[in-house]
Amino acid sequence: MKMQCHGSKRIDPNMRRHGLIDVFAVAYERTNEMRVFVQSWINQSADNWRLTVIHDGPSTEFEKAMRPLAKQMPKKIKYFCTESRFNDYGHSLRQIGIEQATGDYLLLTNADNYFIPRAVEILNVATGKPDVILFDMVHSHDRPGGRDLPPYSYFETSYRRNSIDISAAIVKTDRAKRVGFRDKGYAGDASYFEDILLDDQDILVVKLPHILFVHN
């Protein structure tokens, strides 16, 4: 694995250096948090993104909450419910996202996180053609990754188990499709990133030293 760390500078918000980012967010209830999550994408300063929100099982409340949000940007925001609930940390829904993704990069996340308005703009700064672009976060858990940190602390990520979150990186879509989301257990996030590395030891990972989202 080749690792690069990049700073960033203000650029044209609509610069599409890395093409389209497909965002697939898994949801289960928590519609108030979901509304804020979707709004955080509507507020993005750069426009090379597309969002699909998938609810784990049928939910009229979810559809009612999503309908007016999707109407604001119907070409960029879509949503649907699965026919039944998987109840596996959202991992089966992530596999659905991987299968449906057609953009250049893929971001898998949860629909109760909040992304900063410049998240995509900052991702566009990364130079070269990285396979993975990694970024930092604010983590809601107590002692996240075993670190001596209180809830909602700055969490510096790195490409290793207990130091990465499913929402803290975008991955080239073709690489995500090659590995899929095989581990449906609690550690599925870490297994996904490990599988990407095992598939090709020569991947290029770029680390952006910026907090791009709040984990909830």
Q: Which two tokens stand for residue 202?
A: 């020569």
Q: What is the pLDDT of residues 36-64, one digit of tens each?
A: 999 999 999 999 999 999 999 999 999 99
The CB density around residue 98, as the number of other CB atoms within 10 Å, is 21
State how far the Cα of 169 lies from the Cα of 171, in Å rounded to an integer. 6
Compute CA distances 6 → 56, 123, 124, 127, 172, whole Å. 36, 10, 12, 8, 18
Element (H, E) at 198: helix 188-199
pLDDT of residue 174: 96
Instruction: Look at the block and give the residue holding tokens 């809830």.
Output: 151
Q: What is the pTM of this model?
A: 0.92
- How large is the greatest C-alpha to C-alpha distance in the chain, in angstroms? 46
Contacts of 201 (CB under 8 A, 6+ apart): 1
Q: Which residues pair with 105 in a beta bridge?
A: 21, 172
CB of 88 closer than 8 Å to CB of 56: no
Task: Give me Rg for the CA atoms of the chain.
Answer: 16
CATH number at residue 173: 3.90.550.10
The CB density around residue 131, as the number of other CB atoms within 10 Å, is 23
pLDDT of residue 13: 47
Which residues of the chain are under the pLDDT cut of 70?
1-18
Bridge-based pairing of strands 77-81 and 49-55 is parallel
Neighbour-count burial of 145, counting CB atoms closer than 10 A to its CB (0-12 exposed, 13-18 middle, 19+ buried)? middle
pLDDT of residue 2: 64
The total number of structural domains that make up the chain: 1
Q: Three-state SS for 214? A: strand
CB of 155 closer than 8 Å to CB of 122: no
Its domain, for residue 152, covers: 2-214
Least Cα distance to 130 among 41, 1, 7 occurs for 1
